[in-house]
Amino acid sequence: MRRRWRWTLGILGVLLVAFAALFVWFVRNPLEAFERSRRRELLSAGFVRSDLGAGEERIALFVAGEGPGLLFLHGLGDQAGSWASIAPAFAGRYRVFVADLPGHGESGPAGDELEMSTIVAGAERLLDVAAAEGPATIVGNSLGAWLATLLARERPERVARLVLVNGGALRGEGGGPSLAPKDRAEAGRLMALLRDPSSPAVPGFVLDDVIRRAADGPISKLGRDLPGLEAHLLDGRLGAIATPVDLLWGSSDRLIPLDYARRMLAELPAARLTEVERCGHVPQVECPDRFLPALERVLALPPPAPAPATPDGETPESPAITEVTEVAAP
C-alpha cells in the first residue's frame, strides 16, 4: 500500500512540476502560445499545412476548399493564425490560402536581416499558387494590404479583386508611436492605438512579450530596411490600379486611421469603403464576430466599378471613385 501511495504521489509530483513549467513558459511566451493555438484552429478546420519551397525561401502555407483562389495576407509581426477565425468560413466557396509571410511564423529567412523586396517576392510566389486556376481575390491586413496593393499593380492579370484591411501602400502621416516599444508604458500606448477603447486591457506579461518580440522579430528587422520600404510606396500612383478595391476598415484604429483609407479612396479608380465599428487595426483578431459578416457581405457584392467619366471641361463634384460607405452592425 505504501509503495502504491509513493508511486501515486510521485506521479502527482511530476505532473505538478510539468504544469508549473508549462505555466512559466506561457507567462514568458504568451504570444507564441496564442499563435500556436490559432494555427491548430486552422488545422482543426480542415486546412492542410505544407511548405512552398525550402530552406531560407520556405513559405509555410495552409490550404483548404475548392473554387476560385482566395489569398489571406497578414500584417507585420503576425502570422497565418491571425485568420483562424475568418478563413474557414470561405472554404466552401473558394480555395483558400493562408500563409506565413517571409520572415514570419515558420517561413524563412530566419536570420537577422529582412528586406521588403524579400517579402514582396514571397507574396508574388503565393499569388502564383493562389491564381494557378484563374485570377485570385486577395484579403490583406496592414502590411498584407500593402503587399496586396503592390501585387494588383504589378500583376493585374492575376488579381480579381482586393480587400484591404487597415493598410495600404501610401505613406503614413508620421509622428506616431514606435512599433518597437522599449518598456511597458510605450507598449501600452501602442496597444491602445491599435485596439478599440472598449477592448480588455492587455496584461503586463503580454506587454513584456510584445517588447521582446518587437526587439528581435520581423518588426525591427524590416524597420532597418528604410530604402526598401520607401521604394515600395505608391503615393500618387494608385490611379494605375484598375483592380476593384474594397477598403474594409476597423474604425477605431488610430495607428492607420480612417483618414488614411479616405486618402486611398480618393486615388483609386474603383473603390469603396466599409467601416467596421468598434474594431481596431487587426479586426480579424480583435472582433471577428463583427469583421467576418462585414467581409462576407463585401465579397458577396459586385466589385466596385469606376465612377462614370465626366464630359470634357467639367469638374467632377467628387473624386473619380465609387464611394459606398457602410457601417457594419454588431
Would residue 126 count as lying in a domain? yes
**Domain limits for position 197:** 29-169+176-305+318-328
Q: Looking at the domain assignment, is residue 278 inside a domain?
A: yes
For the segment 226-252, what is each residue's pLDDT rounded down to a tens digit? Answer: 999 999 999 999 999 999 999 999 999
Q: What is the pLDDT of residue 178?
A: 83
Determine, yes or no, domain membership for 89: yes
Q: Is residue 135 part of a domain?
A: yes
What would the mean pLDDT of 285-294 be, rounded to a whole number?
A: 98
pTM score of the predicted model: 0.88
Is residue 255 a part of any domain in this protein?
A: yes
pLDDT tens for residues 112-150?
899 999 999 999 999 999 999 999 999 999 999 999 999
CATH number at residue 266: 3.40.50.1820
Instruction: For residue 23, tell me if it sits in a domain.
Output: no
Q: Which of 270, 57, 242 is nearest to 158 (CA)?
A: 242
Whether 232 contacts 146, CB under 8 Å: yes
DSSP calls for 125-179: HHHHHHTTTS-EEEEEETHHHHHHHHHHHH-GGGEEEEEEES--SSPP------S
Q: Is the pLDDT at 280 greater than 60, yes or no?
A: yes
Domain total of the chain: 1
Would 16 be classed as within a structural domain? no
59-64 vs 48-52, strand pairing mode? antiparallel
Q: Quick check: 55 pLDDT over 50?
A: yes
**Model confidence pLDDT, tens digit, residues 141-158:** 999 999 999 999 999 999
Cell triple for 330: 454588431
Q: What is the pLDDT of residue 308?
A: 61
* pLDDT reading at 321 higher than 60: no
Average pLDDT over the chain, rounded to whole?
88
Residue 15 lies in a domain: no
Question: What does the DSSP 8-state code read for residue 80?
Answer: G
Residue found by looking up cell 492607420 in the block? 256
Q: How does residue 177 score in pLDDT terms, banded at 50, 70 and 90? A: confident
| Residue 328 reports pLDDT greater than 80 | no
- pLDDT class for 311, splitting at 50, 70, 90? very low
